[in-house]
Amino acid sequence: MVATAVQTVPAPHTPEPRWRPLENEGWLALVLLLPTLVLLGLFIAYPFVRGILLSVSSSRVGVPGEWVGFANFTRLLSDPIFYMVVRNTVWYTFITTIFKLALGLWLALLLNRNFRFKAFTRAFILLPFIIPTVLSTFAWKWMFDPTFSVLNWFIMKMCQWKVSFFGLFGIEPATSCVVQAQFNWLGDADLAMWAIIIVNIWRGVPFFAISLLAGLQTISPDLAEAAAIDGAKPLQRFWYITWPLLLPVTMVVVLFSVIQTFADFQIVYVMTGGGPANATHLFATYAYQMGVGTGLLSQGAAISLAMFPILFGIVIVQLLYIRRVETR
């Protein structure tokens, strides 16, 4: 037993703490965040405000311009090209996202198996995503070249193989293969759209595949095996086990992809420059043509700002959906 000795206790002394503002969480946080806040304030928040001001004035390059209210936006509403731009962008975003998701998921499922050179394959698959888009898009443009197109050559070869196959049974084709394979990829409005869609899919599939692969790897194989023991077929296993568990990752990946695709610039700029006859313009390329090409700063700013409410809507809807999926 420890005896409680009666002691004369000296008065407690309260030391004056040394002045150390960085031991205070609030001040330290402020200091650590300061460079970020300054840079983002100067080059995001300020340009955003500036963009709004520009869009309600009549500035051109070198001409300050004056307040014109919503004139730039109302002009857009009566601009047939702008309607085409909206339609193109929505279609482009929609169709590429569907394909990127489907192909990316398929590729992720393939990569999720064990095989030799797996790490190697994965590293190579990411190349389209790593290599500067403008540069790789030039390779595609060269492949789509109407006169020297390797794709058309390829299509012709396929056609010839088909013909010689049917020829064995005495069936003759109506037109020659050379004629059939004459696609003027970038000169035809519909084909040009498909061409840029293909390039976007090509560039985006690796991102989807690798992100989804990471998601797949967090799903315990025990689950699929348990389901297999319960008698589920591979497709059922995918649909009832893998897909629901993968959904949160998928949603985030789709969110990022949709935003990037919606605001895409590089592929269209290199492939078609918006042509033929504005048939492949997206928001960004049209804004560039107006704001930089023609020098109508305000008009250009209005076009790119017109993206904002749509993007904002997409983000809100997706974030809400992601939250719902995650809290389920």
Q: Which amino acid is at 7?
A: Q
Residues 190-229, one symbol each (x = binds other proteins by CB under 8 A, - = not), give ------------x--xxx--xx--x------x------x-
Residues 40-59, one symbol each (x = binds other proteins by CB under 8 A, - = not), give x-xxx-xxx-xx--x----x
23/87 with CB nearer other proteins: 23
- Residue among 185, 184, 181, 211 nearest 198 (CA): 185
Q: Which stretch binds other proteins (CB under 8 A): 29-37, 79-87, 89-97, 165-173?
A: 29-37
| Range 271-290, binding other proteins (CB under 8 A) | 283-284, 287-288
The minimum distance between CB 69 and other proteins, in angstroms, equals 18
The DSSP element (H or E) to which 79 belongs, if any, is none
Task: Give residue 60's region: left, alpha or beta (phi > 0; psi -120 to 50).
Answer: beta
| Range 61-90, binding other proteins (CB under 8 A) | none
From the CB of residue 100, how many other CB atoms can be counted at a distance below 10 Å? 25
The residues with which 67 forms a beta bridge, in sequence order, are 57
- Residue among 192, 198, 183, 197 nearest 277 (CA): 192
The minimum distance between CB 232 and other proteins, in angstroms, equals 11
| Range 116-135, binding other proteins (CB under 8 A) | 119, 121-128, 130-135
Q: Residue 22 interacts with other proteins (CB under 8 A)?
A: yes
Rg of the chain on CA atoms, in Å? 29
Q: Which stretch binds other proteins (CB under 8 A): 72-80, 86-94, 164-172, 252-260?
A: 252-260
The minimum distance between CB 87 and other proteins, in angstroms, equals 18
119/171 with CB nearer other proteins: 119
| CA-to-CA separations, 142 to 85, 147, 198, in angstroms, rounded | 25, 10, 14
| Options 71, 163, 223, 259; binder of other proteins; rule CB under 8 A | 259
Q: How close are the terminal C-alpha atoms of the chain, in Å?
A: 57
Whole-angstrom distance, CA of residue 224 vs CA of residue 135: 42
Q: Which stretch binds other proteins (CB under 8 A): 37-45, 67-75, 76-84, 89-97?
A: 37-45
From the CB of residue 223, how many other CB atoms can be counted at a distance below 10 Å? 14
Q: Residue 158 interacts with other proteins (CB under 8 A)?
A: no
